[in-house]
Structures are given as C-alpha cells and as structure tokens.
Structure 1
Amino acid sequence: MDFTEFERIWSAVYGHPAWSVKKGHGSFLTLEFGPPSLRIREPGLASPDASEKVRELLGRRQVTVTGNWRLWIYCCNWSIELGGKEVAHNESPDDDITFAAQRLDGQKLLSVARGSTPSSWVFAFDLSGVLRTWPYDNDLSVEQWLLYERDSGDVLSVRADGLYSYGAGSRSPKDEVWEQM
C-alpha cells in the first residue's frame, strides 16, 4: 500500500469527531466515527448442544450503535495525550483510561501518521488530543489497530511488524494477504 492509498482510506474519516470512545476488554480501545447507525441482530436458534448461556444470548435481539468507521486499538501499547501531557496509557487504572477516553470523545480526527519509532502510529485530533500506538515487545505478527468501514465491510489492519492487510472483513484469517506498507 502506498501513501496515496492509505490517505484515500483515511481521508474519508478525517474531520469526523470520535464518539463512543471507550475501553473494551483488557486495554483495547474503540472509537466510532461518522453518522451513527443501528445494527440489529434478530434472535436466532442455538444448536441443540449449546449451553444455556448461549441459548439465552441467541434468544435475544441485540441492538448496537456503530459509526461509518470503527477504529479498534487492539494488541499494542498506547497512550493518550491531551495538551501535550500523557493522561493515560494501556496499563493505567481504569478510571484514568475512562477519563482520557471521555476527553477524546468529540474531538475530530485530523491525521494518522507513522510515529518516530518503528511500527508506531500517531492519531492526531483537533482539540489537542493525541493517541499514540507502538508494538508490544513479544509478538510482531499481531494486529496493533484495525479500521472497520461499515458501508463496504472492508477492514484495514496494521500489524506490529509493519505489514498491513486491507479487504473484506468477512475473510478468513488464512485468506488475508499481508503486505509491506
């Protein structure tokens, strides 16, 4: 992927405020961008050998709100800065992460660029917010962040080793093609 293709993907997101910025499982972060839309999963039938918990979950209608784009900060170190000062990182207490996420909420994404160290990234926002990511030390083949495009179903995934994959989110992991950026 050359810089032009990377910018084409991200240019549609630039200028949109982040919303529903929150901590997920562990230290994962999610940020929504673009107009909200309801995603409705209708109740379904579980297989006969499914647990009671699975049957209960499948028996309910699930409604979630998503943006045109979802940025998922996945398996990596990260920090959030406000006004040039770090306010939280991936190992901060939950309250600090919640505070930092709330301060990113509503800020417009201005740019996404490589950071100053290998495989690091900088997400810059309009009200002095900065989200930085860099790899864990142990596994360079894991995805650091993923950008989901709701309308196309495509996903841009970037790994700690500098490789990327871009294509249908419905692909099997074995069908993903990883290329140098």
Structure 2
Amino acid sequence: MGFEEVRRATLGALLSAVLVASLSGCGGAADYTVPEEICGRKIDPGLVRPLLPEGEEFEAEKRSIGDDTMRCLLFVDRRRELTIREYPDGGEVDAMKFAVENPGRFRNPKKVSFGADTVVSDGMVLSVNPCTYQGEKGHYILDIYVERFDVSEPDGWREELERFAEAYLPVGMEETGCRE
C-alpha cells in the first residue's frame, strides 16, 4: 500500500468517525422532551425547560407527603433537578420573613408581584396565598427549588423561576382544590 492509499484510508476513517460522533451527539438539550402535563399539572414546557440541564431522559414523579401535600420531582438522566411542593392547607407564613430566617435556603430573596406573598431567591421560590380548602380557610403554599443551584450562576435562574412559578401558581391552586 502506497502513501496515497494510506492517506485516503486514514482520511476515510476520520470522516466516518466524525460522522458517527456528530450523529450520535445530535441534539444535546433536545434529547428529551418535557411534556405539557407534569405531575397532573398542565404547564407550558417552554417555562420548565430553562430550569433543567441538558440530558438524555426526562422523568417526573409525583409523591404525596401526608394527606394533602404533594411533591413533584423532576429528573434528568435520573438526577433530581427540580422539586415542586404544594401545601393546600398550609399555615400563614410571611414569605420574606421565612426567607430571611433561612439564609441557607434563600440567597438574595426578593418580593415579587404575583401571588399574595411571594419571594424569589437564587434557586428558590416561596409563595403563600390565602385559600379555602375543603371548606376551611387557610393558605396554599407553593415551594419550588432548583436542585442544581450553582452559586457561580449570576442570577440564580431568577427570571426563569419567576416565569415558571407565576404560571404554575393558579394551576396548582385549582388542581389541589384550593379556592381564593
């Protein structure tokens, strides 16, 4: 085999390897699809997706915590990435006071304009809203947490969290049977 034949064979092998690698690695973030309904809640997948990393597989798992409390866990490649907790019969809590008293969970908390009493911090949302649940007056509490929060992320996903929580809040309240 001469030099030219070796060069062609090597070039052919390299092109084949590049083609296989590019086909197998296609998509990155598009490898999984976020459904329009997660844990029994219809929500725009475009609001959920920015809070999740790239990966191959998406899974949502709904778990009950006690009689009336629901927890929705979102996994990418079997790693928990986002936790949503709903308490339809929660007590009255001052969201900002709670955030300030729990600095390990709430970094840079800020009150926002949706919900009755909502705080968004780096990687977390807490929203407390008066409601009537099963004939009793109480408070619906929505707690959302980005599991992979990274302090090097400049804004802690605040805008994405705020958009997602604002859209999720009325859906969660309605689905739990919590009325204003």
Structure-1-length-normalised TM-score: 0.24
Higher relative contact order (CA 8 A, sep 6+): 1
Structure-2-length-normalised TM-score: 0.24
Higher helix share: 2
Q: Rg: which structure is higher? A: 2
Higher strand share: 1
